[in-house]
Amino acid sequence: MSLSTSAKSAGRGAEPAPRNSPLRRKRNRERLRTLGFLSPWLVGFSVFFGYPLIATVYFSFMHYNQIKEPTFVGLRNWRYVLEQMPLFGPALWNTLWLVVVMVALRVVFGLGIGLLITKIKTGVGLFRTAFYIPYLAPPVAATVAFVFLLNPSTGPVNEMLSWVGLDGPGWFNDPNWSKPSLVMLSLWGIGDLMVIFMASLLDVPKEQYEAAELDGAGAWTKFRFVTWPAITPIVLFAVVTGVVQTMQYYTQALVAGKLASGVSIGPGTVIQPGYPDHSTLTVPQLVYSMGFQNFNTGAACVLSLVLFAIAMAVTLLLMRKSVGLIPAED
Amino acid sequence: MTTTTLTRPDTAAPSRPSGTDAARHRRKRVLNWIAVHSVAVALALFFVLPFVFVLLTSVMSDDQAMSGDLWPDSWNWSNYSAVFNTPGFLDWWRNSLMYALLGTVFTVCSSVPVAYALAKFRFRGRRTAMILVISTMMLPPQVIIIPMYLVWAQQFHLSGSLWPLIIPMAFGDAYSIFLLRQFLLTIPQEYIESAKVDGCGEFRTLLKIVVPMAKPGIAAVALFQFFYCWNDYFGPQIYAAQNPGAWTLSYGLESFKSAHAVNWNLTMAATLLVMAPVIIVFFFAQKAFVEGVTLTGVKG
């Protein structure tokens, strides 16, 4: 980018422009104009992103309960979180479990529905709306609804399973089923991925399918050699954004755990998150409960930075695999 | 990827009379149609049934909602007025609406010029700026929340309100900047050049030429931001938890269940009332939604 700018200015005049020349004044004006247009973001980036990121690092070395002045404790918070904190292991495990299972299933399922919808000949608009609308449901509302639907004793789902003689699982109340239940909830809201995959599938040139058919390719061969290469960048995009979203997985897990536990609690009540048996506790929830319920600011900031490091590492790793992800210049 | 290497194994097979061939072909097409549509219907049921069950439960009597019944004995539409009469519920509506409307206006006004500069100006560091925008988009909000909370609570004494969530939106939102920039890239440079030749300043060009052309993109950003605010749970939990007068619908909904410990019928009615604005707006603005989603994913 900077290369093209300098190339352009070099082309304009071989000898350096004299001070106060119209050219230099023009360039200064352009610089000011750019700064002016960018200023909301420049301010926002430094105040609401740059500063807190640095402050998080600072607090991670401090003992601070948000009342007394912070005191320096070196690596003690880090050692506490990484070696002793009883809930750190389960929270990290749950978060990574969700990242792997949820993202994989979402991409496969989203792609499947995208493929299906491109094959539908009748009533395509109706089907598209049906698949898309759950994505819009507010996460809290969707979670409340799913906790009700999957209620082991009174929920419609287990009721319907009993009609066919099946004994439904405990869903959100069973530590083995709570995470799969969250995955189901997330698959219900697959609408955004469906639209993205649908658009990219429709972009695959028709002639390539025709050519493959002439060569006698079956459905799988066509998918493998025509569709897949064309949509790989989109799949990668879906994986990266999926990983990032799941790293911050919070609302659904928290609300599901709280509601399923059946404890009569309102927002702001201190409870041990992750019901049942910490099976729905994620790292973001741990950040919240450390920082805003236990007022252990140092430990909360260490957890934030662990989350930051993992999110960054995964994103960079996946981004390096694809040029298409960094939007093209010009 | 070329497909020329694929060979057809049965090219040498004797050809059948063309009549049966056509019939077989038609039968295959019909079977295919049936297969595709049955799968689609089954899946569509999976997506729609939750709404149906929630709606049916929302009109049941208190007792019936506690049973496993699927169909209401009597249709108690008064459950909905009971929800509206719950103390606080109307405040939550007002707060949600204020957060979502102000947040949307602030975001659009601050993000459009930034996205325009990133899409159309040539300057040193443009690529770096773009990468920084994307990385802020990528980072979990929990990473920076603690210092942010401390600033708003201790320096500005604004905890217990939604202002700490609304004010930052006047300084650009990474996701919106990214989406708008993707959209603005598709506007031909010639329009902008010719506006300048006609004597338009940069700001007037943006307002008179670019904004009208970018309306679909701006509409998509506005919708997404509106729903982001409407759906936000984490933000209100951080800043508004201590003050029920500042709760939003998304946040208050969870407490609704505890206020009426086991009244699933009222809880489901409230759930539908939280979803309703989103669904209604969707039906009016389907195109903008779909374009917006596509834009983030496809065009680079």
Please write the tens of the pLDDT for every residue from A202-214: 888 888 888 998 8
Work out the angle at residue A249's Cα, subtended by the Cα atoms of residues A246 and A250, and round it to the nearest 5 degrees: 175
For range B138-144, the mean pLDDT? 87
Residues within 8 A of A (CB atoms), B 94-113 only: 110-111, 113
- Comparing CB atoms, the residue among B51, B67, B124 nearest residue A5 is B124
CA of A218 vs chain B CAs: smallest distance (Å): 10
CA of A247 vs chain B CAs: smallest distance (Å): 7
List, in order, residues 6 or more apart from A283 with CB less than 8 Å away.
Answer: A91, A92, A95, A247, A303, A306, A307, B142
Q: How far is CA A204 from the centre of its chain?
A: 27
Residues written for chain A: 330
pLDDT computed for residue A16 by the predictor? 59
Please give the sequence-ordered ranges of beta strands (E in DSSP) within chain A, or none if there are none: 62-63, 71-72
**B189 and A CB contact within 8 Å:** no
pLDDT computed for residue A80 by the predictor? 94
Query: Which amino acid appears at position B174 of this protein?
Result: A
Chain A residues with CB-CB distance to B224 below 8 A: none
CA of A168 vs chain B CAs: smallest distance (Å): 13
The span from the CA of A234 to the CA of B245, in Å, is 43
Chain A residues with CB-CB distance to B233 below 8 A: 139-140, 250-251, 254-255
CA of B16 vs chain A CAs: smallest distance (Å): 17
**B87 and A CB contact within 8 Å:** no
Chain A residues with CB-CB distance to B3 below 8 A: 208, 211-212, 215, 217, 221, 225-226
For range B142-159, the mean pLDDT? 92
Place of tokens 């936000």: B232
For range A58-85, the mean pLDDT? 92
Q: B40 and A66 in contact by Cβ < 8 A?
A: no
Work out the angle at residue B141's Cα, subtended by the Cα atoms of residues B137 and B144, and round it to the nearest 5 degrees: 110
Pair of tokens at residue A67: 């009342």
Considering only CA atoms, which of B296, B112, B220 is closest in space to residue A40? B112
The span from the CA of A92 to the CA of A94, in Å, is 5
pTM (global) more than 0.90? no
How many CB atoms within 10 Å of residue A178? 27
Alpha helices, H only, chain A: 2-12, 22-45, 51-59, 76-79, 88-119, 124-136, 139-149, 156-163, 178-188, 191-202, 206-214, 219-222, 228-247, 251-261, 283-288, 297-320
Please measure the distance between the N-terminal and C-terminal CA atoms of chain B and give it in whole angstroms. 21
Q: A300 and B146 in contact by Cβ < 8 A?
A: yes
Cis preceding linkage at A276, omega within 30 = yes
Pair of tokens at residue B157: 């004494």
pLDDT computed for residue A81 by the predictor? 92
For range B246-270, the mean pLDDT? 82
CA of B255 vs chain A CAs: smallest distance (Å): 5
Query: Which amino acid appears at position A133 of this protein?
Result: I
pLDDT computed for residue B297 by the predictor? 65
Chain A residue with CA closest to B34: the answer is A120
Q: A40 and B279 in contact by Cβ < 8 A?
A: no
List, in order, residues 6 or more apart from A166 with CB less than 8 Å away.
Answer: none
pLDDT computed for residue B88 by the predictor? 86
Place of tokens 């439960």: B57
* Largest Cα span, chain B: 86
